[in-house]
Structures are given as C-alpha cells and as structure tokens.
Structure 1
Amino acid sequence: MYLIAAVVVALVGVSLLVLRVLRSRGGLLGAIRQGKAARVEALLRGKPQALAAARESVRGPLQAAAATGRRDIVDLLLAHGVDPAGIDGWGQGALHVAALHGHVELVRRFLELGVDVNQRARRATSDKVPARPGATPLHFACGAGQLEVLNALLEKGAAWDSVDERALSALHEVAARSGSVEVARRLLALGCAVDAVDCLGQTPLMLALAYKRTALAALLVAHGASPHARGPMEFTPLHLAALRGLEDLVSALLAAGANPLAANDLGQKPVDVARAEGHAAVAALLEEAGARAAVTSVAPEPTTQQEGAAVVAPPLPRTSEG
C-alpha cells in the first residue's frame, strides 16, 4: 500500500513538472524564449491579452527577448508599446539583461532609445530569483566578463566607480563572478579602487582568492592590492590563499609584505588554515615564513655603541594593518 502511494505521489510530481514545462513553452514568453519571431508577431496582433499576461510574469517579455539577443523580437515588442526602460519582477531592465548576455547591439539600441546607462536594478519581487539591487548595467557586464559591452557602456558615460546596495564595485563583480582578467585590467586602468570594500569588508582580492580566480588574484596583487586587509572573521588574503592551497599566491602575498603570523578571529594563523585543509606544501612555505617573521620581531639585546656610530633601530614586526 505504501508502495502504491509512493508511485502515485511520484506520478503527480512528474505530471506537474511536465505541465510547468509545457506552460513555459506556450504563450508569448515561450515564443520569445524560443526565438519564434513569427509566432510572437501573431500573438501580439491576434491576442492583445497575451502581452498583458506576459507582463504579469516575473521575467518581463522585453527582458526575455534581450536574453536571446533577438533584435527582431525586441523591435516587435517595442512597436507594441513595451517600455524599453521597464523593470521586471527580477528587478532588472532589458539593458541589464542585454549587458549580462553580451548582446552589444541591443545594448546600443536601448541606449539610443534613452534608457539610462546607469539604470539601477531593483529588489526582485520573488525570493526564487537572484536579486541584485542597485547594480548598474556595467555591473552586469563586468560580472559576466563582457569586455565589448563594458566599452560600449563607457562610451555612453557609464559610471565605472558606482557601487550597488551591498557596496559591490565592478571589480568586486569580476572577482565574484567572471574572473575576467581583461575586464579587471580595463577597470584598473580607469582607476577602479583595487582595495574597495563591500558591506562585509571584503576586497576584490579576497573574493578572487575565495573563488580561486588565480590569474585575477595575481593581477590584483601586482596592482598593489593590500595583503593586510581584514575581511569577515578577520581573515586576511593570506588566510584565504592558504585555505585554497594557492602556493604561488601565498608566495606573492608574502613577497608583498603579508604577515604570516596574523591571526583570525578563531586564533588561526595562515599556516594553521593550510594544515587544516591538508595543503602540505603551502603549510611548509608558511611555516618557514612564520619562523623568519618571529625572529625579526624579536628586538636584539642592547650593546655598547661605539662612539660616533649610527644608531640602527631593530626591525619591527609586521602587522595586519601594514
């Protein structure tokens, strides 16, 4: 009996899933997503209610068209009065979506229609979709590694130094999402702050290390990213590099002056983190660096100074504040 009940529940679940798929493929939104321009045109002409129904969906019809990159379908929707600057239930405009997907022709089209190049995304109306409140099209382009779109937005005056509601800069977006070295290099050339902090106190370097964007992290270190920054739980970039077992970056951070003896809120030094994660080579490197730092942090015993000799101050210990 229990087996029969389980089979019935499974069949109901499958039926609901099939019904959801069929619904998503039907109607105006389904035609847009499938790139069926003739079907879209027929629905817009013959069923005015189809557009009204699509507007009630979380993903707006123009945003769905922008995701596909279909200029013909975008133009059909615009001809039927869809607002090019409208925001859908995801909190995004069509310009955000086109920038995300790298459709530079559509990006330029929406800008020609007067959409604000720095249009801000809003909070999503559903907790089932990603929310990026305050993000501009440039944030979306950088997060997706869309260099051509980034340049097109900059040509129209996009603010490369803007931050979203979580204080994420465009460089944070690159570090957390695409890891694009080319986009990061462009932002750094513009003057994007290499050590900007988000609402959690994280720098782009911290995010790059956390997500193992090794090439990007190396670029940020080369551009002077601070090895002394402190993020959540007082983790430093060296802690994060140790956590991920990134030997080359551990070496680069040490060369940049990172303190191998810095402790996080758990009392762990970077070497402790490396050992806990089983990164033996990194642990050995940090142990050696820690031993050197411990020696240099001890002031030498005072000695009798020869007359006229210069006074040499003992080396000071490096701290997490630099």
Structure 2
Amino acid sequence: MAARLDYSRFDHIGDSESEEEKPPEVPHPAADASDVLSELPSDLPRDLALVLAARQGQHNLVEALLKSRVEANAADPHGGSALLRAVESGGVQARPTIEALLTAKANPCQDNGAGESALSSASSNGPAELLKALLAAAVQVPSPAALSAALAAAAAKGNRATAEVLLDAGAPAANAALHSWVGHADTGMVQYLAEKRANVNLAQGDDGETSITRASRLSPEESAEQLVQLLCDLRADVNQSTSKGLTPLAAASRAGAAKVVQRLLECKASVQPEGSTISPLVAASTAGSVLAARLLLAARASPETADAAGRRPLGCAAATGNLELCRLLLGTRADPNQRSRAGETSEGPGAAALAIAVSAGHKALVEELLDARADPEDVSERGQSPLMLAAGLSRRDLCDELLAASAQANGTDPEGKSALLLAAGAGCLPVCEVLLEARADLAQRTLAGACALDSAAANGHEAVCRMLLDARADLALVGPVGRTPAEVADFAGHASLAEMLRR
C-alpha cells in the first residue's frame, strides 16, 4: 500500500514557511511505542516519518519506528537520509537520535544525489567528536571518494578540526582542496596538507585557479604575501595560468598588492608568461597601482605591449586618472598615441590616452599628455576628437588646453557633428565662446543638415542662440527636413524661442 501513496504533499518539506507546505506534525513521544506510532498520520509513509522525526530530534519516535523495522537508511523525496537530517539539525537534542540511527546501522556515507551525506555535513559543521562517531560506526570503511568529498566540505567551511580527523582516517590528500584553505588564509593547514603530499598545482573551480593564484589576490596583503612565499617554497608553479589566462602575478597586480608582486618576481614569475592573456602591467595600470607598476617595469615589462583584449598600460592608467602612474609610464617611453581599450568590458578599436583622459575629465592628465606630445586630433572609438569630447562635456578648461595645443576647431565626427554644434546643443556658453574665438564655422552642417544654431534652437538654449546670432549665424539657412532655426525651435516646443528667432 505504501508504494501507492501520494508523496507530493511532502515534496517540499523544509523548503517553505507557508502554512500549506509545513511538514505534518509528528506527535510527541508517548510512553508506549505502539501508541506513538498509532498517532502518525495515516497517509504518512513510515520511512518518511523516520526522516521527519530525525530532523526534529524526536529520538523516542525514531527508536519506535526503527523497532517497527523501518529501514534506518530511509530517505525523504530530496534524497536526504534520516541520519543526514539529524546531523544537519545539530544541537544537543540530535545526539540521542544520531546514536539510535547509528545503532541501527544507518550509513553515514549515504549520498542524497547532490554530494551531501551525514559524513560531509558533520565534516563541514562539526564538531570533530561527531565526525569521529560517524566514522567509528560506519558498517563499511568509507571509500576514498566519500572521504575526499567530506574533506572538501571541511575545507569549504574552514573546519580544521574535522579535516584533521578525516586525514587521520585516510582521506587522500593528493587532491585535497588546498585552494579552499588558501582562501581561509590558513597557512598551517596548507603546510600540513603539503607534508601529506597534496598537489600544490592542482587547478580548481570553473576557471581552473591554482592555490598560488588564489593566494596572490587575497586580502589583507600581508596574508597573501605569507601564503605566496609558503607556496613558492613548496614549489608551486608561479607562471601557471587559469583558463581565463590569469597568472599569479597578474592576479596580484590586479589587486594592487605590490608586496605580493615583489615576492612573485623574486620567485621568478614572468612579467608576460607564455599562454597568458592578461598582462600584469595592464592589470596594475587598471588597478591604478603605482608601486606594482614600478616593480613590473623594473623587471622589464613593456609599457607599450597590449594584452589579448587590446588594452595597453597607458590607456588603462589614463582611464583611472592616475597622474603619477601615467607619468611613470610616459617616463619609460610609453607612446601616448598608441590606441588602447580600457577597462574590463571595453570593445571596439580603442582610443589613444588623450581621448580617454578627456572623456574621463582629468585635466591634469590632459596637460601631462599634451606635454608628452599626444596628438590632439587622435579621435576616440566613436570618431570624435578630444576637442569634441571636451565640448560635449561642457569643459571649457579642457577646450582651452586643446586649442592651445593646436586642436582644430572645425573637425567633425562620422555624423558631421562639430565641437561647436555639440557645445551649442548642451547649452554651454563658455565653450561656445572659446570655440567662436577660435573661428569655429557657424555654417558647418551635420550629415543630416543641422548647424550649431539648429542644435541650440532644438534644445531651447536661448542664450546660446543669441550668442550665435551676435556672431552672425544665418537665420535664413534651411536645416533638417527643410526647417529654419525658428521652425526647429517651434517644432521642439520652444515657442518663445521660436518667436525670438523670427524677429
């Protein structure tokens, strides 16, 4: 009959706090076991009742069910055994339940299909005494695979006491999760596992990260430095990269950990190892770490070499606005006119450092790059010159610097937009003023036929329109869709401006 029962009402036991999905109430233990069992819901299978009672720590009911010959290794719909649920519940009240199940020869290694067992749960959460009891009560010696899984669970939680119990019980150390212990900054456990011949170069995780790469990016830096030195002493490969091309040196550089960079370089880490796609110097420049960059340059890292993503040190440093770092790179003869992508997600052909610095609004850096003979006409990824970028940002100070460096006032982007048109559309009087002083062409038009006056009119900037008219902009010129500036303003909903332009 039990095989025909509908288990669906018990499928989400423990998964919800709603009234509808709470597990059925298990009666409090009575003096007589038969009385206890008679109070169980008629549609609740006895094996499931055992799991529920174990989870709730009702050891008298657990004993009664076991005496009625319910299988000790019964599992719930999620595959969790009664012993697993008892161990998970923890607390003092779980001990009698666990003892009863172990006496009935419950298997501590029984897996729920998701890699979880009573053994792994005890390894993760402890205490060590519970794990010892499970190991001692196991009918069969746990397999190396079961012990490895339990050791990995202990490592993930950083439970050193249970890990030592497992290793003493014969858990294989060769593939132990050194990576996890490194993440916990547990140098003692790393040393202990290494003495048991753990593989210090084992790649773990989806990206194949090694222990030394994990250590190189740890925080605080002092812990990272100590672990990196230990792993180097254990002959870890300092040039092994992840599946994404990240080496320990690149990881440390990205973290801006100069002390770790120094330690890795002393251990013969390459500034650009074969097969790596991430340049340590680019990583340091992206992080804005002057100290790390200085160490890498001293180790003969090239200040001009791009990584696999097309990023160059100077371009990445310019994006951060780090003046000292840019000066360092320029001082080692980095070419300010080489194009570079910048950041983690940049796409396209990239831009020179000057366009990147202007886009980020870093005035001091713009001055530094111009002094280093950066080309003021070298366009951005979208084809805009640094002057156009500055005008679009309404930055007169940057426009002044660029014009003083002989930037062309009448250059256009691929859509035919000029710096004056961009400034007029933004309503920036100071930028319009300086561009007019530089003889920007009032009649210059975009591919769509718009001029600076059209741009100001469309955006309702009356003061800019008056300035352009004072500079002799032509009101009669027909712009986009055959409209005059007055008609453009009217169409955009700026009636008063349209009236002014008609006078």
What TM-score does the superposition give when structure 1 sets the normalisation length? Answer: 0.70
Taking a change above 3 Å as real, the CA distance of residues 261 and 97 of structure 1, as seen in their structure-2 partners, is same
Task: Work out whether 1:62 is the aligned partner of 2:216.
Answer: no
Question: Which residue matches 2:183?
Answer: 33
Match of 1:94 in 2: 248
Q: Quick one: structure 1 residues 62 and 238, their matched pair in 2 at CA, closer, same or farther if it must change by over 3 Å?
A: same
Which residue does the alignment assign to 2:305?
162
Q: Could you say which residue in structure 1 is the equivalent of 2:339?
A: 197
- 1:33–1:121 distance in 2 versus 1, CA, 3 Å: farther
| Contact 1:160/1:192, CA 8 A, preserved across alignment | yes
Distance in 1, matches of 2:366 and 2:186, equals 43
Q: 1:74 — aligned with what?
A: 228
Alignment-derived partner of residue 321 in structure 2: 179
Given that 2:203 and 2:209 are in contact with CA atoms closer than 8 Å, whether structure 1 keeps it comes out as: no
Cα deviations by residue, 1:274-313 (Å, 9 ceiling, x for unpaired): 343x3514542355245x2449xxxxxxxxxxxxxxxxxx
Q: Give the direction of change, closer, same or farther, for the CA distance of 1:233–1:57 in structure 2 (3 Å limit).
A: closer
In the alignment, residue 217 of structure 1 is paired with which amino acid?
A: V
Q: Distance in 2 between matches of 1:233 and 1:111?
A: 39
In 1, the alpha carbon distance for the partners of 2:414 and 2:17 equals 48
Q: Tell me by how many angstroms 1:30 deviates.
A: 4.1
CA contact (8 A) 2:350 2:381 kept: yes
- For residue 53 of structure 1, report the CA deviation from its aligned partner: 6.5
Deviation at 1:93, TM superposition (A): 0.7
Listed as ranges, the gaps of 5+ residues in structure 2 are 1-14, 19-153, 159-176, 341-347, 443-503
The CA RMSD measured in Å over matched residues stands at 3.4
| 1:152 matched to 2:295 | yes
Q: CA deviation at 1:234?
A: 2.2
Counterparts of 2:400 and 2:265, CA distance in 1: 45
Aligned to 1:137: 280
Q: How much does 1:263 deviate?
A: 1.3
Tell whether the 8 Å contact from 1:121 to 1:136 is kept in structure 2 after alignment.
no
Which whole-Å CA distance do the structure 2 matches of 1:175 and 1:46 have between them? 48
Return the match for 2:413 from 250, 264, 286: 264
1:225 corresponds, among 354, 366, 374, to: 374
Residue 112 of structure 1: aligned partner: 266
- 8 Å CA contact retained: 2:178, 2:190: yes
Which shifted more, 161-170 or 25-34?
Answer: 25-34
Distance of 1:53 and 1:94 partners within structure 2: 13
User: Residues 10 and 269 from structure 1, CA distance in 2 versus in 1: closer, same or farther, beyond 3 angstroms?
Assistant: farther
| Structure whose CA Rg is larger | 2
CA distance in 1, matches of 2:435, 2:349: 29
How much has 1:91 moved relative to structure 2? 1.2
Q: Cα distance 1:46–1:165, how it changes in 2: closer, same or farther (>3 A)?
A: closer
Does structure 2 conserve the Cα–Cα contact (< 8 Å) formed by 1:147 and 1:183?
Answer: yes
Q: Among the aligned pairs, what percent are the same residue?
A: 23
Where does the alignment leave 5 or more consecutive residues of structure 1 unmatched? 1-7, 12-21, 123-132, 296-322
Alignment partners' CA distance in 1, 2:208 and 2:422: 43
Counterparts of 2:157 and 2:337, CA distance in 1: 46
Counterpart-to-counterpart distance in 2, 1:77 and 1:144: 25
Task: List aligned pairs for 1:35-50, cutoff 5 A.
Answer: 35-44=185-194, 48=198
C-alpha separation in 1, matches of 2:413 and 2:157? 51
Q: For 2:336 and 2:201, how far apart are their aligned partners in 1?
A: 45
Decide whether aligned partners of structure 1 residues 88 and 282 sit closer, same or farther in structure 2, where only a CA change above 3 A counts.
farther
Q: Distance in 1 between matches of 2:363 and 2:308?
A: 27
CA distance in 2 between partners of 1:205 and 1:121 (Å): 31
Paired residue for 1:317?
none
Give the 3 Å change call, closer, same or farther, for CA 259–43 of structure 1 in structure 2. same
Q: Distance in 2 between matches of 1:285 and 1:10?
A: 67
The number of aligned residues is 267
User: Which position in structure 1 is the counterpart of 2:433?
Assistant: 285
Give the whole-Å Cα distance in 1 for the aligned partners of 2:188 and 2:198.
15
Q: Which moved more, 1:91-100 or 1:74-83?
A: 74-83
One-letter code of the match for 1:184?
Answer: C
> Kindly tell me: are residues 113 and 24 of structure 1, through their superposed partners in 2, closer, same or farther at Cα, counting changes over 3 Å?
same
Q: 1:85 to 1:264 in 2, by over 3 A?
A: same
* CA–CA separation in structure 2 for the residues paired with 1:269 and 1:287: 10
Structure with bigger RCO (C-alpha 8 Å, 6+ apart): 1
